[in-house]
Structure 1
Amino acid sequence: MKFLYLAIDLFSVIIPLAFSFHPKINFYKKWRSFFIANCLVAFLFIIWDILFTKLGVWGFNPDYIMGLYFFNLPIEEVLFFICIPFSCVFTYYCLNLFTSIKWKSLTGNIFIFVLSSFLLVTGLIFYKRIYTSVTFTSLAFVLLFLQFILKVNWLGKFFTIYPVLLIPFFIVNGILTGSGIRQPVVWYNNNENTGIRLFTIPVEDIFYGLELILLTVLFYEYFNSKSRHPETIT
């Protein structure tokens, strides 16, 4: 079982990796944009992960990891921040390629305002619980920034697609948090979260994952637009 976390990482990425070369998809042509975006966002989240692991917000079961570490993180946890965003951005790219999704401006404004307000209020209510407060408040500010400052035009399609991304999310995070196995791969200190779980998954994980993928898509879209218009690069 020492290779369980590694196997989860690899199985989550193997199909998107293979289909990246499908002639109707050609996602491999977008790899440069993705990996630049991924490096930037993964760097931030790995620092976050290192700090929260040190603070005991969460930790890792040695029975399910190889024992190789980057600072205090198992190497499998570092790979998580590559494999999961890759799979999610691949799915986002494919659904965006074969479907036309667009929200009206008013719909987007209302949705983001309501969601951000909920996140901010919840983050303040649980201000003593660091996982909840940091995740909810940071995500709220990211959403408000994207919608009302940057005014990106892809948030509607992102939130339309995100429920699809939650399907593999529940499978992967379910196993990591103990579904179907004797003990969790990743354990959580319930003193630092709301204690609300969907099956075995802390509800905060949904918003943590949302922020991870949302920021990756933000930079992916930015670098992808630059690659389509190289003359704008100074």
Structure 2
Amino acid sequence: MLHYTYLLINFFTVIICFVFSFHPKIKFNRHFSAFFKAALMVALVFIFWDIWFTKRGVWWFNDTYLLGIRVYNLPIEEILFFFCIPFSCIFTYFCLDQFFKLDWKPLPEKIFVIISIVSSVGIAFYFHDKIYTFITFLSTAVSMFTLYFVLKSRWIGKASFIYLVLMPGFLLVNGILTGTGLESPIVNYNPQDFMGIRMLTIPIEDTVYGYEMILWNIYLFQKLKRNEQN
């Protein structure tokens, strides 16, 4: 039964959101095509990142909790992760954006983005010898700069608030993956490659990694959804 652990984490992460996607007041199912196209584009980048980090030994996976099916040395469950987690996050973003007005005023959002970019760059270069920390914070800074200043995305403040709302779920899912409640972690990290600061058992870098992934999913989902409606 332990071999199904990671698979079940993915399943329970997505199942409630999937069922409610068909609710007549939500109708998220109408946008499945836009979601899967967006998720695939983002997943390809993050899966490549995952393969590279796994090969370098930045992190590795405990076979006790896996089915044993691997693609380029990545467990199939890890690949599904890049679709299940974004689905739940995009579904939540879609619902909250549909029923509540969460948009930020331009100045506070711009200040937030600038502070986030400067802080991320500072952390990246301060911990330049920690590859997970360096790449995660630097790429997030580049992503935020690109999304806000180049692509003129004016929903980053709203998305950041919703990501905060999702944090209890993030702590639950990533907590289990990193060892909370288990005899040993499903995902193990090389202590030489990250800061060593953890939320429960979760490296702080994971929260930033997830944040960057969701920002790009939101951007592409919204763009593809608009294209489908035109």
TM-score (norm 2): 0.98
Aligned to 1:206: 207
Residues 1:175 and 2:211 aligned together: no
Query: Structure 2: which amino acid aligns with 1:76?
Result: E
Deviations 1:11-69 (A, max 9, x none): 10000110000111110001111011001000000000000000000000010001000
| CA distance, structure 2, for counterparts of residue 107 and residue 170 of structure 1 | 27
Aligned to 1:87: 88
Query: Structure 2: which amino acid aligns with 1:14?
Result: I
| CA distance, structure 2, for counterparts of residue 157 and residue 100 of structure 1 | 9
Aligned to 1:46: 47
| CA distance, structure 1, for counterparts of residue 30 and residue 179 of structure 2 | 37
Residues 1:143 and 2:144 aligned together: yes
Equivalent pairs counted in the alignment come to 229
Query: Structure 2: which amino acid aligns with 1:37?
Result: A
Q: Which runs of 4+ in 1 moved over 6 A?
A: none
Aligned to 1:232: none
SS at 1:2 equivalent: helix
Query: Structure 1: which amino acid aligns with 2:4?
Result: F
| CA distance, structure 1, for counterparts of residue 5 and residue 171 of structure 2 | 17
Aligned to 1:129: 130
| CA distance, structure 1, for counterparts of residue 187 and residue 75 of structure 2 | 11
What is the RMSD of the two structures over their aligned residues, measured on CA atoms? 0.7
| CA distance, structure 2, for counterparts of residue 47 and residue 205 of structure 1 | 16
Query: Structure 1: which amino acid aligns with 2:158?
Result: K
* Structure 2 unaligned spans of 5+: none
Residues 1:186 and 2:197 aligned together: no
Residues 1:65 and 2:66 aligned together: yes
Aligned to 1:215: 216
SS at 2:160 equivalent: helix
Percent identical across equivalent pairs? 46
| CA distance, structure 2, for counterparts of residue 139 and residue 180 of structure 1 | 30
**Match runs of 1:220-231 below 5 Å:** 220-229=221-230
Once structures 1 and 2 are overlaid, which stretch shifts more, 153-162 or 73-82? 153-162
* Structure 1 unaligned spans of 5+: 230-234
Deviations 1:86-111 (A, max 9, x none): 01100111111110111111111110
Query: Structure 2: which amino acid aligns with 1:109?
Result: K
